[in-house]
Chain A
Amino acid sequence: MNHERIEQKLSILADAAKYDVSCSSSGGSRKNTGGLGNSSKSGICHSYTEDGRCVSLLKILFTNHCIYDCAYCTSRRSNDTPRAAFTVEEVVDLTMQFYRRNYIEGLFLSSGIFKNPDYTMERLVRVAKTLRTEHRFHGYIHLKTIPGASDELMKEAGLYADRLSVNMEIPTKSGLALLAPEKNHDDMKAPMQTVQEQIVQFKDSRKVHKHAPKYTPAGQSTQFIIGATGETDHQIMRLSSHFYEKYDLKRVYYSGYVPMLSDKRLPDISTPVPLVRENRLYQADWLMRFYGFGAEEIVDAQNPFLDLQFDPKMAWAMRHREHFPVNIQTAPYEMVVRVPGIGVRTAKKIVSARRFTTLTLDHLKQMGAAVNRAKYFVALHVPNPHLNELMKDNFRDVLLSRTQSKFKDDRTGQLVLF
């Protein structure tokens, strides 16, 4: 193998893949049977990029040649950029060798569309199949499905991959029509339906045959680009919530649009990346998945955008002060976890510890609560002077002046939330 040439390809094809923010390796459940690799249920970040994102998988495109011309994508055919394509063997070798050195949890393979969707998808499936069957590789494999590929290939892909994703990229129909006129919103959703049906089918057959193969054990995910078109957070959250329910998605990723192409349909090249908005969307997404919030509680038609100054849980609490204070000693878990500054873990500790002890603000702090926020919303067995602020008209300003510095540097927060 010519390693210099491979280094060039790797550089080009890693570069082109980096805007896909998903890097999760969680939810895998493969057990090693004498070969290489084992999944870690919670996933492992083996490194971090200088922008602070987790590096868990070898995330590359198979090729950045593409017959389509989606305005938001660096691989679009009209973009003047260096092009490259791997062979199946090269991707397999890189994955194996990186995995052996404990650099990665596995492979995340996506691709531009060359020739036609099936031709491309067939290559991706072949990489996964070779790794699994010839190299006995049990690490994590995430394949991005190619819009327009046949159902047969989608079905085969799920037998070798731990996760499949279909990136919606542009959340609204009108946005997609504007930026990717060759694509169609409904066609993009169709593969999600196929994958979902397969998952259900395979689950059923496993009930009868214990050794029936698993189909995408880590489920499917999707990604939205944020800020390339005029979509509202309300539209995004509704769509996410719809996807979580209808297709049982494991994750929705939000990728703040990085302006890198000039095109009059797109935000100006000097527009900053909407990092705070992206962070707020992840926080809102967490509220839906782990905190029992409904999409409409977080944003609605009257307030279609997330509050950039406050995290969405705090914003909700400020709009709904009638639910507070929450009595830390007696309130049900579901309410404790809605207190700003108290996360899922802390809420569980509180519910556990209060059976032994009467809790104080100090205890909350010990257990990991952000007391500087929580203190305005909780009732204790002793009077809590901070509650005086709660019903004041200028509560928002009070909070802002006292907690602002905390939010100033709030840039990414893909994992560190609340």
Chain B
Amino acid sequence: MTSLSLFDPSNDLRHDASDVRTVLVFDGSFEGWLSAVFYAYEHKLVRTPLLIKAAHDHVDSFLDEVVMVANDADKATRVLTRLQEMLSVRDVIWAFLSEDPMVYTHLFRVVVYQLDNPHRRVMANFAHPDVQAVQARIKKVGRERHRMQAFVRFEDTVQGVYFAKVNPDFNVLPLIGDFFAKRFADQSWLIFDVVRGYGIFYDHHDPKAGVQDIVDIDETMLTDHHAFHSDKEPIYQRLWQAYFRHVTIKERINPKHHIAQMPRRYWRYLVEKKGR
């Protein structure tokens, strides 16, 4: 991360001990963050040293003035409507989903910067520290989303549902549902995020229901999903492994490049890397 050193958030957020800092703590949801943004404007905290933190990242410090901001659907909607007029909400949500402890504050400052300059597209200022920080997280989330589109491996189960487990670094399931629904419109599927304990589900018998969040799944699906394999499943896994073995050109083997493209942390759920 040396390339980010100039804009290291911990640097630019350091304050004299005499400075009283306000920390707005929200519940971790997008609505909660929008409520916190509203709160900051409502209480004229915008020009003061201010941090916005998710409850699960927050550690109490007696130097700070901490405010727990309650969710308020009404206020959240008002902020969102305003944001939509001047920023790409897609950008905001993607950055938000990075779950980076600092991103909520950076995003807030970009919002302030944008509201201060209503006639410029401030996200185009790649030299601005907060814009830069937000852009960097958008890029990371985008990359993780792309990797999930690539590395999800469905396994056919006896229930007739194609099942996949994933362990993404960021909370990207909300960003991939549509992609999979369009692509696999004629099969039912379930992608489960084992890190965050929830999944997305699509039922091809009921396409109108769209992609649904799902929290409750049979525990054994997570611990011993082989028990649920359809008869065909092991055959096609073997065939895929055979294919994978035979596409490598031995004269050109380059492990460094291989791992750079397909980091080890993804291998666990990749059929072709099983047992490697």
Contact = CB atoms under 8 A, between A and B. Distances in A.
A complexed with B: yes
A349 interface: yes
Interface residues of A, number: 58
Interface string B173-211: 000000100111111000000000000000000000000
Contacts of A37: 183
Interface of B: 3-4, 6-7, 120, 122, 124-128, 132, 146, 149-156, 162, 164, 179, 182-187, 232, 235-236, 238-240, 242-258, 260-262, 270-272
Contact of B185 (A6, A35, A45, A411): A35
Contacts of A357: 125, 127-128
Nearest to A414: B257
Contacts of B270: 47
A14 B247 contact: yes
Nearest to A272: B251
Contacts of A102: 152-154, 164, 184
Given A36-B186, A100-B154, A50 B255 contact: yes
Interface string A358-375: 010011011100000000
A232 B180 CA distance: 46
28 contacts: A7-B238, A7-B239, A14-B243, A15-B247, A18-B246, A18-B247, A35-B186, A36-B185, A40-B149, A44-B149, A44-B150, A45-B150, A49-B249, A50-B248, A52-B252, A52-B257, A54-B261, A55-B247, A94-B239, A101-B156, A101-B240, A103-B153, A258-B251, A353-B126, A353-B127, A356-B120, A356-B127, A362-B6
A34 interface: yes
A407 interface: no
Q: Kindly name the residue among B152, B184, B255 whose own CB sees the greatest number of chain A CB atoms within 10 A.
A: B184
Contacts of A409: 256
Contact of B153 (A45, A52, A58, A101): A101
B4 to A, nearest CB: 8
A110 B153 CA distance: 26
A7 B235 CA distance: 9
A36 B126 CA distance: 40
A351 to B, nearest CB: 10
Nearest to A349: B126
B28 to A, nearest CB: 29
Contacts of B150: 44-47
Given A38-B182, A258-B249, A98 B240 contact: yes
Nearest to A350: B126
B6 to A, nearest CB: 5
Q: Kindly name the residue among B7, B232, B236 whose own CB sees the greatest number of chain A CB atoms within 10 A.
A: B236
A353 B125 contact: yes
Chain B, interface SS category: helix
A273 B247 contact: no
A34 B244 contact: no
A59 interface: yes
Contacts of A412: 252, 254, 257
A359 B6 CA distance: 14
A44 B238 contact: no
A37 B182 CA distance: 7
Contacts of B155: 101
A109 B76 CA distance: 52
Contacts of A359: 127
B222 to A, nearest CB: 19
B139 to A, nearest CB: 10
A380 B179 CA distance: 44
Contacts of A350: 126
A32 B271 contact: no
Contacts of B185: 32, 34-36
A11 B241 CA distance: 10
A45 B166 CA distance: 17
Contacts of B124: 352-353, 355-356
A187 interface: no
Contacts of B247: 14-15, 18, 49, 53, 55, 59
A363 B270 CA distance: 38
A258 B252 contact: yes
Given A53-B249, A100-B184, A412-B254, 4 more contacts: A37-B183, A52-B261, A102-B184, A411-B254
The 7 closest A-B pairs by CB, nearest first: A52-B257, A51-B252, A356-B125, A14-B246, A353-B126, A357-B127, A48-B261
Given A47-B270, A47-B272, A98-B240, A34 B186 contact: yes
Contacts of B151: 46
B242 A11 contact: yes
B254 A50 contact: yes
Contact of B183 (A38, A46, A52, A411): A38
Contact of B244 (A47, A52, A97, A100): A47
A153 interface: no
B3 A356 contact: no
Nearest to A278: B252
A48 B255 CA distance: 10
Interface in A184-216: none
Contacts of B251: 258, 273
Contacts of B238: 3, 7
A365 B272 CA distance: 37
Nearest to A33: B185
A3 B252 contact: no
B183 A32 contact: yes
A184 B124 CA distance: 53
Contacts of A249: none
Contacts of A258: 249, 251-252
A101 B236 contact: yes
A143 B46 CA distance: 59
B154 A366 contact: no
A238 interface: no
A126 interface: no
Contacts of B249: 18-19, 49, 51, 53, 258
